[in-house]
């Protein structure tokens, strides 16, 4: 996965922005929902937040308060530093977070949790709970055109092909999986749950 995201970093936000290879995709309401999701994140109470697997910082820049972004990919962090210049960024392992217990008020992650399989999911949740009393997860909504769990082939602009494990969520089911929580956003394309 690290090599995939290193190579995808310069083009990752084409997905959010609906440009490049995503320009012709039929995604009704996509741009409005990206804006609604950003608004839901910006409306969170200010907190010292760790953004795990922050990627390019596309969502990081909407998080209120003091924000630390962590990603394993230096290429992603280079992009994130441009998009969220007020945040601090750290290169590190999302499953072995390099911070002391209780270092944050909130752990946030966007489009990372849905790539974790069994044991890695549990490891991430243990790490997140060790660091903060609150966890906010943004991921892809379960729709009629996808399966709850898929192995997807992803093709980058350079033509390289990568297999990715991907889960899609209904907000109530995600909250239950996290041990309870509230829905911050429930749309056709994205869900956001605070636990």
More confident residue, 26 or 126: 126
Average pLDDT score over residue span 153-178? 91
Can you give the pLDDT at residue 3? Answer: 74
- List alpha helices for the chain, DSSP H: 2-8, 13-17, 30-42, 74-83, 118-131, 171-177
What CATH homologous superfamily does 2-194 map to? Answer: Vaccinia Virus protein VP39 (3.40.50.150)
Per-residue pLDDT for 6 more than 70? yes
If pLDDT is split at 50, 70 and 90, which confidence band does 20 have?
Answer: confident
Global confidence as pTM: 0.92
Domain ranges of the chain: 2-194
Across 170-178, average pLDDT? 95
Average pLDDT value for residue range 119-134: 96
Report the pLDDT value the prediction gives residue 10, as an integer from 0 to 100.
75
CB of 87 closer than 8 Å to CB of 143: no
Alpha carbon distance 147, 124 (integer Å): 23
How confident is residue 1, by pLDDT bands cut at 50, 70 and 90? low
């Amino acid at each position: 996965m690290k090599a995939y995201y290193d190579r995808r970093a310069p083009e990752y936000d084409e997905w959010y922005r609906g440009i490049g290879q995503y320009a012709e995709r039929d995604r009704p309401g996509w741009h409005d929902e990206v804006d609604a999701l950003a608004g839901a994140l910006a409306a969170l109470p200010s907190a010292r937040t760790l953004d795990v697997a922050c990627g390019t910082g596309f969502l990081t820049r909407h998080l209120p308060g003091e924000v630390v972004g962590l990603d394993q990919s230096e290429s992603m962090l280079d992009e994130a530093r441009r998009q969220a210049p007020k945040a601090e960024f750290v290169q590190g392992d999302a499953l072995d977070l390099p911070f002391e217990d209780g270092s944050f008020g909130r752990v946030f992650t966007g489009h990372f949790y849905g790539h974790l399989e069994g044991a890695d999911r549990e490891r991430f949740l243990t790490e997140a709970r060790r660091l903060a009393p609150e966890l906010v997860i943004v991921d892809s909504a379960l729709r009629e055109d996808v399966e709850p769990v898929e192995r997807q082939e992803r093709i980058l602009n350079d033509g390289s092909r990568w297999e990715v494990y991907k889960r899609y969520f209904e907000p109530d089911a995600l909250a239950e999986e996290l041990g309870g929580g509230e829905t911050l956003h429930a749309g056709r394309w994205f869900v956001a749950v605070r636990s």
